[in-house]
A and B are shown apart, each in its own frame.
Chain A
Amino acid sequence: KQEVTQIPAALSVPEGENLVLNCSFTDSAIYNLQWFRQDPGKGLTSLLLIQSSQREQTSGRLNASLDKSSGRSTLYIAASQPGDSATYLCAVDPRGAQKLVFGQGTRLTINP
């Protein structure tokens, strides 16, 4: 059974810092991995999707990497801003069966 873990559960940093969020999964046989953002009381916004054959994806200040063999993904946020404050969730699709397995998320606070 695939399990996804995100550490730390919460992170608080000053504005302008570069930071890394971590995601690990137990079964390396994944189809793809997605990173989402969730603001309090809201739905999820997709940030990046990495296919199993890819090593990384970039969008603006965000860069996500994938290392299937070690069961890890990282989300790198450059030059953090207060508007980046949210919960960040990673999710894996184990077999391309449209069944995302989510981590618990990292609650990120960027202090002005």
Chain B
Amino acid sequence: DAMVIQNPRYQVTQFGKPVTLSCSQTLNHNVMYWYQQKSSQAPKLLFHYYDKDFNNEADTPDNFQSRRPNTSFCFLDIRSPGLGDAAMYLCATSRFTDTQYFGPGTRLTVL
């Protein structure tokens, strides 16, 4: 029944060691999003794909990249994680501007 799947659920990485987070969806939605949520804060949009079109938020650091090889999958790459990048990373999907459906999140720890 899972519609938006994120792997892994927990990721531990070392300072500066690249890491990739994965998101897949079974809803066939055309829009996919990546949000960063730090402890006790609101989710913050990093970027989103409208079909194949990539839309980066102006204040998203260059350290964060994304790939969407097909409709079902989207990846978040953090090239050189810093301690400040420790957070919950949430993937979401929607059909155009309808309701956004979120995955369970990946909690990233940076040592």
Report A's interface with B, CB cutoff 8 A.
4, 31-32, 34, 36, 41-46, 49, 89, 93, 96-100, 102-105
Asked whether A104 and B90 contact (CB < 8 A) given A34-B100, A96-B97, the answer is no
Interface of B is mostly: strand
Q: How far is the CA of A4 from the CA of B88 in the complex (A)?
A: 21
Docked complex Cα distance between A28 and B26 (Å): 34
Q: Are B107 and A41 in contact (CB under 8 A)?
A: yes
- Nearest residue in B to A9 (C-beta to C-beta)? B40
- Output the least CB separation between B76 and chain A (Å): 14
Do A43 and B102 touch across chains, with their CB atoms under 8 A apart?
yes
Size bracket of the B interface: 20 to 34
What CA separation (Å) do A99 and B34 show in the bound complex? Answer: 11
Residues in A neighbouring B41, C-beta threshold 8 A: 104
Tell whether B64 is near chain A: CB-to-CB under 8 Å. no
For window 69-111 of B, CB contacts with A under 8 Å fall at 88, 90, 92, 94, 97-105, 107
**Cβ-defined contact, A42 with B104, below 8 A:** yes
Q: Which residue of B lies closest to A105 (CB)?
A: B42
Neighbour of A44 across the interface among B44, B45, B90, B107, CB < 8 A: B90
A43 touches B98 (CB 8 A): no
A64 to B4, CA, bound (A): 25
The answer to whether B97 touches A102, judged by C-beta atoms less than 8 angstroms apart, is: no
Between A and B, 7 residue pairs with Cβ closer than 8 Å are A4-B42, A32-B97, A42-B105, A96-B97, A98-B97, A99-B57, A100-B43
Give the residue name and chain of the A residue nearest to B41 (CB).
A104
Q: Tell me the complex Cα distance, A104–B48, Å.
A: 21
Instruction: Considering the complex, give the chain B residue whose CB is closest to the CB of A89.
Output: B42
Question: What CA separation (Å) do A30 and B48 show in the bound complex?
Answer: 19
A73 smallest CB distance to B (angstroms)? 15
Residues of B within 8 A of A41 (CB): 88, 105, 107
